[in-house]
Structure 1
Amino acid sequence: MNPELINDCVHCGFCLPACPTYTLWGEEMDSPRGRIHLMKQYVEGTALTPEMAGHFDACLGCMACVSACPSGVQYDRLIESARAEVERVHRRPVADRAFRALVFGLFPYPRRLRALRLPLRLGERLTPRLRPLLERLDPRLAAMAELAPPVTRRVRLPRRVAARGERRATVGVLTGCVQGEFFPGVNAATVRVLAMEGCEVVIPPGQGCCGALSVHSGRAEEAAGFARRTIETFERAGVDTVIVNAAGCGSSTKEYAELLAADPAWAARARALRFADLAEFLAELGPVAERHPLPVTVAYHDACHLAHAQGIRAQPRALLATIPGLRLREVPDAAMCCGSAGTYNLFQPLAARDLGDRKAEQVLSVGADLLVSANPGCTMQIAAAARRRGERIRVAHTAEVLDASLRGLPPTTLGRAREHTSGPTSAERAQ
């Protein structure tokens, strides 16, 4: 924890209303400035207590405070370094260590996630019955079961897709872990949209985790290993621009040079690659493919690691605005986190549930036909919260909406495979 970064905080309080955990509990030590105060105590010699570690663990890392801070405090760097210190010196209870080992031994590995597909398919109907038992065993297991998305058909992407018409760029695509295994249609739509906009698309096989889940949880060494592998993968593919369609992954890959700063050679290799969010890249490239009308009302959700960490807010909305017939509705209190935050909804299920319920209520209040988000964790979190309310909400990625318009598909194709209940949609209830 860098004392100079800690001292940048003047404790003005602008971060308080932006912080999800302070909003939930009103506890000073669960606000950004409160956590920075604890960091200051620690670097000045106070031992890292279980209570102190608990306050750091309770932070979502959503970076809303970074957007709100008038002093430019780099809370993102501070909380990541604090979590790394927690992992280094704090001894967690046995049950916590076991659950974390399960999560980090599973989610960053696509092949292991792939092995879950059959159990998840078998468990889709059993989950409501098993939930009370899982709640008694461990609320975190219940949260994991509840968040699991419906298992969809696997999509095998080719290694290379030619540009439609004149080639305007050559790019790689990061397929991701959860995105690739549970939302393969998002990757397929991403590749099609890029190709239709004049990009030759390279999809290297054998991709692994980018390291986002690890770096956000203080596992810096593990994250660095994933980063090196990702860099090597795209170097071998011969591309210098990599498109990322998951907000958390995009945020982490853009910080590879900082993550690998201790090794100047690797840091230089990281800087030689450009990682760009899909909406960011498409907005810069400019549209050439014909948009067909898509008569649908959309509620766009700002994923925290897209809006706060990467500063990408206008680009997705601008892309959606190019689609004839699409009506965009803003979600109230859009800057507040939905409670997903990478692995947060698994490690802190009660707080995540409260935030998810708030976000689902706000999304449903606008009466949209479709929720559009740019992060798989947000998609699962908000859909699960809507199900708890007995609501059916169709969800799609920005890439899928653009893909439907470019291909002239009807709006009913969007989000169809992810519906979980037979109740009316929020739009139907509003009529």
Structure 2
Amino acid sequence: MKTVNKNAIAGESLSPYKGSPILDIITEKQLRTCVHCGLCLSFCPTYKATGLEMDSPRGRIYQIRGLASGEISADDPDLRKHLDLCLGCRACETACPSGVPYGSLLEAARAQLEPNSKTERAIRKVTLGFLFMRPWAMHSAGFGLRLYQKGGVQKAVHATKLLNVLPGKLDEKEKMLPDAQGGIRKQKFDEIIPAKGATKARVAFLTGCIQDELFRGTNADTINVLTRNGCQVLMPKNQACCGALHSHTGDIEHARELARRNIMAFEQTGADFYIVNASGCGSAMKDYAHLLHSDAAYAERAKKFVAKVRDLSEILVEVGFVPPKGRLKARVTYQDACHMRHGQKIFEQPRKLIKQIPGVEFVEMKESDWCCGSAGIYNVVQPEMANEVLGWKTANIRQTNADIVVASNPGCAIQISYGLREDGQKAEVLHLAELLERAYKAGE
């Protein structure tokens, strides 16, 4: 690697990280927490795949420290190669006895890296800087996709085999797209949806961006499950994207802007809890206090916000789950989304809920907490590694002989569904809310 030693100044005995822009995002204590014990190595998918120390959490932290001290330049191609290859699954955090906040370290380092090319810069500007920052633009994109899939355009394109000859392997990428739920036009949710029976809690619901455009049915089932369990559901006006993709790619300022928007929107509801049904969004929202720790106007508000954020499985257990009466005869396994298991440390609640569905045979999946290869947009920008990781996941699913795979994150659902189709497996992929609502309806 190229090295640039900016701190070798005679007569100074300063911290090697003093003045580093990385410390605007994380603390020096966080940067120094790793003791390089290596207990994380066997939990890292990319290290398993390549066997390279620089593709392990320990190796990447070594590189991030070099970047912070100035010993490694931000434009070093080797640095970018190894950081870009990281899935950001945070399995190393669960394994780490020292409590290293690896996810925060990775995001802080990526924030120092400029896009690889003008093309990448333009793509980020259009997607992260425009599309995800403006709900109307995301709604328009979602409408366009649903029109493409459900309005006959997709069939016409396939008939011409146009995607097969266009550059960028568009035919392969299109295979990964799920069928968007619902019709071409989305049915609008009421701003206030009353609980069925006595009200146990008033909850504000994050509909999400990708989740609401592709998985509108999942959101509808989530609302139904919440109301069946005594929750009055509120739809915050002016809610925005959670900012997860921005944080993961190092676009910290846009992530902070979105965090402020959501804090304002959810505060105005006066709700007891803020509910999320996508694990990546929930993990991002629970990180708002860290993201805004240096913002005098929002630091305390962010802490109060985070204290109210709950995943769907958490709130159902917390308010007292009402099990469905309907019987589902199915063998069910569960995929621990990375930002559910390793980011939010949620493991028992989804399993507890699934096991209470009459007729369901629950079976654990080997390495259920290993990444499926989706990791935000990782399966698009790092397809070779994503497919290798996905192959491990589909093999483990096959061993369960499950009829249904529960995956409570849109990225996981898309990736695993694609992997099962390619592998010839017939297992159905459902969100927890979809499985529960199916059981409730079966009992009506």
From 90, 95, 120, give the equivalent of 1:96.
120
From 190, 208, 228, give the equivalent of 1:196.
228
Which letter maps to 1:35? R
**Counterpart for residue 341 of structure 1:** 375
Which letter maps to 1:292? G
Is 1:60 matched up with 2:87?
A: yes
Q: CA 1:174–1:295 in 2, change beyond 3 Å: closer, same or farther?
A: same
**Counterpart for residue 113 of structure 1:** 142
CA distance in structure 2 between the aligned counterparts of 1:64 and 1:138, rounded to whole angstroms: 31
**Counterpart for residue 172 of structure 1:** 204
Q: Is the 8 A contact 2:373 2:415 kept in 1?
A: yes
Alpha-carbon RMSD across the aligned residues, in angstroms, is 2.1
Q: Is the 8 A contact 1:161 1:201 kept in 2?
A: yes
CA distance in structure 1 between the aligned counterparts of 2:149 and 2:262, rounded to whole angstroms: 28
Q: Quote the offset at 1:206 in angstroms.
A: 4.6
Moved more, 351-360 or 31-40: 351-360
Q: Quote the offset at 1:238 in angstroms.
A: 2.5
SS of equivalent to 2:124: helix
CA distance in structure 2 between the aligned counterparts of 1:368 and 1:253, rounded to whole angstroms: 32
Within a 5 Å distance, the mapping from 1:268-283 to structure 2 comes to 268-273=300-305, 274-283=308-317
Within a 5 Å distance, the mapping from 1:170-249 to structure 2 comes to 170-249=202-281
SS of equivalent to 1:265: coil
Which letter maps to 1:233? A
Q: String of CA shifts for 1:42-87, please: whole Å, max 9, x gaps.
A: 222221212202211111111000001122211111111111111x
Moved more, 70-79 or 113-122: 113-122
Moved more, 38-47 or 171-180: 38-47
CA distance in structure 1 between the aligned counterparts of 2:163 and 2:52, rounded to whole angstroms: 30
Which letter maps to 1:255? D
Within a 5 Å distance, the mapping from 1:8-157 to structure 2 comes to 8-46=33-71, 47-48=73-74, 49-86=76-113, 90-104=114-128, 105-106=130-131, 109=135, 110-111=138-139, 112-121=141-150, 122=152, 124-125=154-155, 126=157, 129=161, 132-134=164-166, 137-139=167-169, 141=170, 144-153=173-182, 154-157=186-189
Moved more, 353-362 or 274-283: 353-362
Q: CA 1:123–1:268 in 2, change beyond 3 Å: closer, same or farther?
A: farther
Q: Quote the offset at 1:131 in angstroms.
A: 5.4
Q: String of CA shifts for 1:205-254, please: whole Å, max 9, x gaps.
A: 45321111111111110011111111122122222411000000000001
CA distance in structure 1 between the aligned counterparts of 2:96 and 2:88, rounded to whole angstroms: 14
Larger Rg: 2
CA distance in structure 1 between the aligned counterparts of 2:127 and 2:78, rounded to whole angstroms: 23
Q: Is the 8 A contact 1:159 1:202 kept in 2?
A: yes
Which letter maps to 1:61? G
Q: CA 1:142–1:31 in 2, change beyond 3 Å: closer, same or farther?
A: farther
Q: Is the 8 A contact 2:324 2:357 kept in 1?
A: no
Q: Quote the offset at 1:182 in angstroms.
A: 0.5
Q: CA 1:107–1:364 in 2, change beyond 3 Å: closer, same or farther?
A: farther
**Counterpart for residue 3 of structure 2:** none
CA distance in structure 2 between the aligned counterparts of 1:103 and 1:93, rounded to whole angstroms: 15
SS of equivalent to 1:382: helix
Which letter maps to 1:82? A
Is 1:253 matched up with 2:278?
A: no
From 329, 332, 351, give the equivalent of 2:385.
351
Within a 5 Å distance, the mapping from 1:251-330 to structure 2 comes to 251-273=283-305, 274-288=308-322, 290-330=324-364
Q: String of CA shifts for 1:247-288, please: whole Å, max 9, x gaps.
A: 000000011111111213212222222111010111111123
CA distance in structure 1 between the aligned counterparts of 2:211 and 2:368, rounded to whole angstroms: 23
Q: Quote the offset at 1:391 in angstroms.
A: 3.1
Which letter maps to 1:322? Q
CA distance in structure 2 between the aligned counterparts of 1:289 and 1:321, rounded to whole angstroms: 10
Q: Is the 8 A contact 2:201 2:272 kept in 1?
A: no
Moved more, 216-225 or 281-290: 281-290
CA distance in structure 2 between the aligned counterparts of 1:54 and 1:254, rounded to whole angstroms: 29
Q: Is the 8 A contact 2:259 2:285 kept in 1?
A: yes
Among the aligned pairs, what percent are the same residue? 41
Q: Quote the offset at 1:96 in angstroms.
A: 2.5
Q: Is the 8 A contact 1:304 1:337 kept in 2?
A: yes
Is 1:392 matched up with 2:432?
A: no
Q: Is the 8 A contact 1:339 1:352 kept in 2?
A: yes
Q: Is the 8 A contact 1:155 1:188 kept in 2?
A: no
CA distance in structure 2 between the aligned counterparts of 1:362 and 1:79, rounded to whole angstroms: 28
Q: Is the 8 A contact 1:294 1:324 kept in 2?
A: yes
Q: CA 1:348–1:177 in 2, change beyond 3 Å: closer, same or farther?
A: same
From 389, 393, 401, give the equivalent of 1:367.
401
Q: Quote the offset at 1:127 in angstroms.
A: 6.0
CA distance in structure 2 between the aligned counterparts of 1:143 and 1:255, rounded to whole angstroms: 34
Q: Is the 8 A contact 1:163 1:195 kept in 2?
A: yes
From 32, 37, 52, give the equivalent of 1:7.
32
Q: Quote the offset at 1:400 in angstroms.
A: 1.1
CA distance in structure 2 between the aligned counterparts of 1:200 and 1:77, rounded to whole angstroms: 34
Q: Is the 8 A contact 2:325 2:443 kept in 1?
A: no
SS of equivalent to 1:334: coil
Moved more, 277-286 or 40-49: 40-49
Q: How many residues align?
A: 404
Which letter maps to 1:398? L
Q: Where in structure 2 are there 5+ consecutive unaligned residues? A: 1-21
CA distance in structure 2 between the aligned counterparts of 1:289 and 1:394, rounded to whole angstroms: 22
Q: Where in structure 1 are there 5+ consecutive unaligned residues? A: 411-431
SS of equivalent to 1:200: strand
